[in-house]
Chain A
């Protein structure tokens, strides 16, 4: 199975900050990586797929990059609505696997 490792597990930031979350795969997954945002008690929401393609309706302050085994999610200017947990997922091969999540909290 492909292991996905996110860092950090928790990130403390302020509104307006540039935020970067990293996701590493235990083997190459090409660009078959997605990022999801999840708020407490709610379902995950797809933000980015194929490593860098922004899902329709997602603000342009979100961006993704990377390929192979190392990927990043960047929020260029953190907004109040962005405090949430972010998950990466590889869908290169079954079993699909997720990172453990990164919680973005208020500093």
Chain B
């Protein structure tokens, strides 16, 4: 059974930093691209970033480019999102998601999410 467990969310002041983790199990982690998608309170889904299976290719939404960094440790089956220079508009539930397979693919499985609140 595929499981994705996010952690690391919490309350942080504007300008602060946070690192989210996503522990994966139930599949060959190193074979799949992984993504982060967020959802602000009461709003729709917003794609944040995608990282290829090897970590060689990264993609970011313009709204987070230069502030958020996606990475992975395939030896630990873990995906990360380093969040710097946080803003109030980054407040959201952050989901990690496993991509479906090779080529253009949607998010097949999602974690339960972790809430990040940016506020003074």
Contact = CB atoms under 8 A, between A and B. Distances in A.
A34 B44 contact: no
Contact of A43 (B35, B100, B106, B110): B110
Contacts of A34: 106-107
Nearest to A87: B45
> B interface, how many residues as a size bin?
20 to 34
B105 interface: yes
B27 interface: no
Interface residues of A, number: 24
A46 B106 contact: yes
Interface stretch (A19-27, A69-77, A97-105): A97-105
Nearest to B110: A43
Contacts of A55: 108
A87 B47 CA distance: 12
B110 A91 contact: no
Nearest to A95: B61
Interface string B35-63: 10100000011110010000000011110
A98 B45 contact: yes
Interface string A78-93: 0000000001010110
Contacts of B59: 94-95
Interface in B4-56: 35, 37, 44-47, 50
A101 B42 CA distance: 11
Contacts of A87: 44-45
Interface of B: 35, 37, 44-47, 50, 59-62, 95, 100, 104-113
27 contacts: A1-B62, A36-B45, A36-B107, A42-B112, A43-B110, A43-B111, A44-B45, A44-B95, A46-B107, A46-B108, A46-B109, A49-B100, A55-B108, A87-B44, A89-B45, A89-B47, A89-B106, A91-B104, A91-B105, A92-B104, A94-B50, A95-B47, A96-B47, A97-B47, A98-B46, A98-B47, A99-B44
